Structure 1
Amino acid sequence: MKLTVRVWRQDGPLGEGRFDTREVDGVEPSMSVLELLDRYNHDVVTSGGEPVVFESDCREGICGACGIVVNGRPHGPVKRTPACHQRLNSFDDGATVTIEPFRAGPYPIIRDLMVERGALTEVLQAGGHVHVAAGTAPDADADRITFDTAEQALDFAACIGCGACVAACPNGSANLYLGAKLAHLSALPIPASERGSRARAMLNEADLMFGPCSLHGECAEVCPADIPLVAVSYVNRERLRTGIAGS
């Protein structure tokens, strides 16, 4: 299988970006998009060039580090699937595959396909944590949680923080990410005790860095953790509950 690969190259945050195009031969349909980049880099290095910089870690769809845009879609053509699990069988032999970094204002380019996604971390650091008193662990049944509540909290907690939702949104909104964190922590009894202060801190931080929700649901279509779109509603719920004016 042979593919024409167009990869975004940019020497640094202030550098002028460009596409580098080359044919990559001998790839298999079962290979992932990241393995295609590995093969691309092998060819680049063999010819004396500098390999393209991109992020990856576990390659198991867990860490969220592999965010890229493939043919105009965050992560790739298959819905709700991380780039490391996007297979080349989605492309015809001889097709052109264009690979770019996440395109969003809160994600400045570091180099090539690597962007700075620290804005998400800053939102989480603002309030996505729980203060608990150290000491003897409570009994397992001290705080009763229904099965449905636990399952809902786990569904929202599945967010891997890849940031594709922001890249997909034309306004650069992080409401799917933010809503998932707020919904997860407000559902459980111990973190719910700090619900108000958490919401105020995280909402204020998000308002500084991200745009408003576009109300079109592009975020949920690309979310590899399949966070439900209803997570977005938790942002407005918590905003109204704490009395914070909208951005």
Structure 2
Amino acid sequence: MTHGATRAGDEQTGKRGMNLTLRIWRQKGPSVKGKMVTYKVTDISPDMSFLEMLDVLNEQLILQGDDPVAFDHDCREGICGMCGVMINGQAHGPQQTTTCQLHMRSFKDGDSIDIEPWRATAFPVIKDLAVDRRAFDRIIQAGGYISVPTGTAPEAHATPVPKADSDAAFDAATCIGCGACVAACPNASSMLFTAAKVTHLGLMPQGQPERNDRVVNMVAQQDLEGFGGCTNIGECSAACPKGISMETISRLNHDLLGALRAGARPKS
């Protein structure tokens, strides 16, 4: 539903829109100093998503001849992980969901809302609220491929997998790489993200041949990217829109220690 349709529905039901004060981080480029700029938006429907509210603001800015606020988004269905901003100091805002799935009914009429980009050295600002998250891509690339035959698929029950392992692997694989874990962590650690990507393969049979090299290389790349160290504060899991458990970090540490004991070393 578009925000225009939402507004029409509010007019029919007599529902009053919200008036909000937005303090938004504006930065024209990576090398330009940014600052918080205040805007007013009016008649915002409680049923709008947070991104639809930003769309309304951008329409207003364009009509005024101003530069619209840049922010990342794609599917707007909570699947792709593209959206993500700090809202009043919380990654994705007050609900444990993606920014695109956060609705304005989570706020009250007259509220002031601070909106900032992900705050991490490894996520440099591109413009305004949009950040460069390619560091995540490089961590995944460091993990390499899995050496499994690509011919006829094996019989489904040829290699039994314990249900506890398959459940844990599927839970870890729900990571959408949005970066909320990094933004929420006081150390800007990417350990929950890296652990999720290591764990979902490490628990499966097809992930075993490269298991040791994968964990060593991905953790090494994580450090090269400038992410902070994990001190088990737990903000990462609390902010994760997919609710990925910190248990995945324990699994990564177990795999890393075992790999190092086996003599695995990161590739140069």
Regarding TM over 0.5, the answer is: yes
Where does structure 1 differ by over 4 angstroms across 4 or more consecutive aligned residues? none
Aligned-pair distance for 1:214?
2.5
**Aligned-residue RMSD, C-alpha:** 1.4
Aligned-pair distance for 1:197?
1.2
Q: Hey, what does 2:27 align to over in structure 1? A: 10
SS at match of 2:44: coil
Note the residue ranges of structure 1 that are not aligned, 5 or more in a row: none
Report 1:46-125 matches (<5 A).
46-78=63-95, 80-125=96-141
Greater mean deviation of Cα atoms: 154-163 or 130-139: 130-139
So what's the TM-score if we normalise by structure 2? 0.88
Q: State the percentage of identical aligned residues.
A: 45
For residue 210 of structure 2, the aligned residue among 194, 204, 219 is 194
**Cα distance per residue 1:184-211 (max 9 Å; x no partner):** 1111001122111111111111121211
| In structure 1, distance between residues paired with 2:169 and 2:256 | 19
Report 1:12-51 matches (<5 A).
12-51=29-68
| In structure 1, distance between residues paired with 2:86 and 2:147 | 37
**Cα distance per residue 1:92-126 (max 9 Å; x no partner):** 10101111100011000011100001111100011
Say how many residue pairs are matched: 244
SS at match of 1:22: strand
For residue 219 of structure 2, the aligned residue among 178, 200, 203 is 203
Counterpart AA for 1:61: G
Q: Hey, what does 2:252 align to over in structure 1? A: 235
Aligned-pair distance for 1:147?
2.5
**Cα distance per residue 1:50-70 (max 9 Å; x no partner):** 111111011111100001110
So what's the TM-score if we normalise by structure 1? 0.95
| In structure 2, distance between residues paired with 1:176 and 1:128 | 19
Aligned-pair distance for 1:128?
5.6
Q: Hey, what does 1:152 align to over in structure 2? A: 168
Note the residue ranges of structure 2 that are not aligned, 5 or more in a row: 1-17
SS at match of 2:158: coil
